[in-house]
Amino acid sequence: MLLLATAVATSARGAIIDVGDVVRGGDLGFFKLDPQATYLRTNNDPGAKSAFPFDLGALGISPGDLLTLERVGDYRYRGGIADGDTATATIGVFSGSATLLGGANPNRVPGAIDAGTDVFSLPTDSGGLPTDISQDFALTTTVVVPTGASHLFISPNDSFFGDNTDPDNDYGVRLGTALIVGDTANGMRTINGGDSVPAPGTVIGRAAGVIGTLNVDGAGSALGSANTTVGDQGTGTLNVTNAARVTGGAIAVGRRLGSDGTLAVSSGGGGRSDVQQLRQSRHREGVRFHGDRDRERRRFEDRDQGRR
The nearer residue to Ca ion, 77 or 94, going by C-beta atoms, is 77
Tally of residues, the chain = 308
> Which residues have a Cβ under 8 Å from the Cβ of 98 and sit 6 or more positions away?
53, 55, 150, 151
Among residues 117 and 296, whose Cβ is nearest to Ca ion?
117
Compute the least distance from the CB of residue 144 to Ca ion, in Å. 18
SS (H, E, C) the chain: CCCCCEEEEECCCCEEEEEECEECCEEEEEEECCCCEECCCCCCCCCCEECCCEECHHHCCCCCCEEEEEEECCEECCCCCCCCCCECCEEEEEECCCCCCCCCCCCCCCCEECCCCECCCCCCCCCCCCCCCCCCEECCEEEECCCCCCEEEEEECCCCCCCCECCCCCCEEEEEECEEECCCCCEEEEEECCCEEEECCEEECCCCCCEEEEEEECCCCEEEECCEEECCCCEEEEEEECCCEEEECCEEECCCCCCEEEEEEECECCECCEEHHHHHHCCCCCEEECCHHHHHHCEEEECHHHCC
Cβ 127 to Ca ion shortest distance, Å: 15
Measured from the CB atom, is 78 or 272 closer to Ca ion? 78
Tell me how far, at minimum, the Cβ of 270 lies from Ca ion, in Å.
Answer: 41
In the complex, the smallest distance separating the C-beta of residue 69 from Ca ion, rounded to whole angstroms, is 16
Residue 45 or 183: the one with the smaller Cβ distance to Ca ion is 45
Residue type, 111: G
In the complex with Ca ion, the residue whose CB is nearer, 70 or 74, is 74
> Whose Cβ is closer to Ca ion: residue 11's or residue 169's?
169
Shortest Å distance, C-beta 80 to Ca ion: 10
In the complex, least distance from residue 207 CB atom to Ca ion, rounded to whole angstroms: 27
Specify the residue, 85 or 294, whose C-beta has the smaller distance to Ca ion: 85
Shortest Å distance, C-beta 141 to Ca ion: 14
Nearer to Ca ion, 160 or 231 (CB): 160
Sites of contact with Ca ion (CB under 5 A):
73-74, 77-78, 85, 132, 136, 158, 160, 163-164, 166, 168, 170-171
Query: Angle at CA 247, nearest 5°, toward 13 and 297?
Result: 110
- The answer to whether residues 91 and 137 touch, using CB atoms and an 8 Å cutoff, is yes
Q: What's the min distance (Å) between Cβ of 296 and Ca ion?
A: 35
CA distance 55 to 97: 9
